[in-house]
Every structure is written in structure tokens, then in C-alpha cells.
Homo-oligomer: A and B are copies of this chain.
Amino acid sequence: MTLVTEQTREMESGKRANRLVLVVTKDTLDQVYPPMILATTAASSGMEVDVYFTFWGLRLLDKKSHGKTKLASVGNPALPMPNILGVLPGMTGMATRMMKGKIKKYWPTIPEMMQQAKDLGVRFHACSPTMGLMGVKESDLIPLTDDIVSASTFLEWATSPGTATIFI
């Protein structure tokens, strides 16, 4: 029985997840960098990585909005800018430029990080149920897109053994 017991202990301790599923629902600088940093880090360490783009996140796979991710200039009290200034015309652009200026000391641009992720084997999926709502047609998808995937396929992934899912 010793062998069985040993195996039991090993099984009980479980196995590390070897697949990461990231869900990107927003299209703002501060909510796109985290999944891109996690995707490239995980893929570099040999994990399988799938990124599921849904709702506003779909804009990252859409030719019309790819590369145009901004930072909100209002509604984030952690930003050093009063809302009364944040709403003025041009302020979203200014906050975006300031943030991008800081970011580029540390990371590539979002399109560059997406390309880097692809080169590392990360897969990009467009959420089929929200494409119509977001005005994204199949012909709008950038070539980095692997496929169009249903909510039930996403759920199958998220509930598979050995998978860690992070919803952002």
C-alpha cells in the first residue's frame, strides 16, 4: 500500500495550473496593461495563455480602435486631476499622453505588447455574443485574432482542470 499512499499524497497536493485564461472587458490603459503583462509573463514561463476579449475589450481586436486605448481623465479619484478639469475638452487626451509618457519607460505600447504576446504563443479570442453590440464585424478583426468564440466555450475553458481564470 505504500506506493498508493505516496501517489495519493502527490495527487492530493494537486498540480499547478498550466493554462491561464484572461478576460479583457475594458479598453482603458490601466485595465489593458495588467492582462498584457500577465499574458506575456505567463507565456514566457511556458504556460498556455488564452485572452478572451469581450465588451469594451473587443475594441483592442477591432482595426478601427486598435492602438487607440485611452486613460479616463475623470471618475478615478486616484488621479491627481480634479474632475472639473478632467471633463474639459482635450483632457482625456492629455491624461492619456501623460500616462503613455510614463508607461513607455517601462513597457512597449499596447499593440507592441499584443504582438509580443502572440510571438510567445498567446491566443487571442473575440467574444462572439458581444461583437454585434460593440459594432465589430468579422472583417474588422486585426490579424492577431485567432478566432471568434462563444460564451459557452469560454466557460468550458474557465472550468477546466489546471486552468486559472482572471477576469479584468
Residues of A in contact with B, size category: 35 or more
From residue A22, how far is it (CB to closest CB) to chain B in Å?
10
Q: A25-B34, A161-B14 are in contact. Are A45 and B155 (CB under 8 A)?
A: yes
The answer on a CB contact under 8 Å between B83 and A155 is no
Q: A3-B1, A75-B74, A161-B15 are in contact. Are A41 and B151 (CB under 8 A)?
A: yes
The answer on a CB contact under 8 Å between A91 and B87 is no
Alpha-carbon separation in the docked complex, A26 to B79 (Å): 11
Within A40-82, the residues touching B (CB, 8 Å) are: 41-42, 44-45, 47, 54-56, 59, 65, 70-78, 82
CB-defined contacts of A119 to chain B, threshold 8 Å: none
From residue A58, how far is it (CB to closest CB) to chain B in Å?
10
Q: A20-B155, A45-B152, A105-B132 are in contact. Are A89 and B84 (CB under 8 A)?
A: yes
Q: Which single residue of chain B is at the shortest CB-CB distance from A28?
A: B77
CB-defined contacts of A160 to chain B, threshold 8 Å: 16-17
